[in-house]
Amino acid sequence: MKTIAVYPGTFDPITNGHIDLVMRASRLFEHVIVAVAINPSKKPAFTLEERVDLAVQTLHHIPNVEVSSFKGLLVEVAREKSAQVIIRGLRAMSDFEHEFQLAGMNRHMEPNVETMFLTPAEQFSYISSSLVREVSTLGGDVSAFVPSCVVLALNNKNSLNLDEK
């Protein structure tokens, strides 16, 4: 049986930390689905289409990785894609409590899908999408934290926001 893993997130935008986790997961599983979420409780800087496109651009070189989007329950995506594993990233202990609760809820709703926690390489452990957006919005250089296509997309987004003001 082919082992399929789903790595969900809003990826607003995708960072080098996310990419590191996808690469790690791609070595562990035969197929990895990066599932870009529509999260009604968040107000993303990038549209769903932009987030999916940036993920595709940055992950196209990994042959066993697929990028898709989803709305609704993650366990439904796992069922639809016949995934056995949900990948979640942990940067720090502060992430653990929330992720532990999510894993428990997902296990309750779908006992046949396991959650696996992966940690990024140390040089990526402090990077978050929200920090990248904030630094970029304030004019800082984020090229050490995200791929060049994301830097360009952030710069374009920031210049559009400045034009609107």
Active site residue 42: yes
Selected catalytic residue, list 18, 24, 31, 88: 18
Active site residue 43: no
From the list 91, 125, 128, 157, the catalytic residue is: 91
What the block records as the tokens of 150 is: 């994301």
Q: For residues 9 and 30, give the distance between their C-alpha atoms in angstroms, rounded to a whole number.
A: 20
Distances (CA, A) of 43 to 14, 40, 48: 15, 7, 11
Among residues 24, 31, 88, 129, which one is catalytic?
129
129 is an active site residue: yes
79 catalytically annotated: no
Contact 44, 10 (CB under 8 A): yes
Q: Give long-range contacts, CB 8 A cutoff, 24+ apart: 91-95.
A: 91/17, 91/119, 91/120, 91/124, 91/125, 91/126, 91/127, 91/128, 92/125
Q: Is the dihedral of CA 12, 16, 21, 24 positive or negative?
A: positive
The residues annotated with a catalytic role in the active site are 18, 42, 91, 129
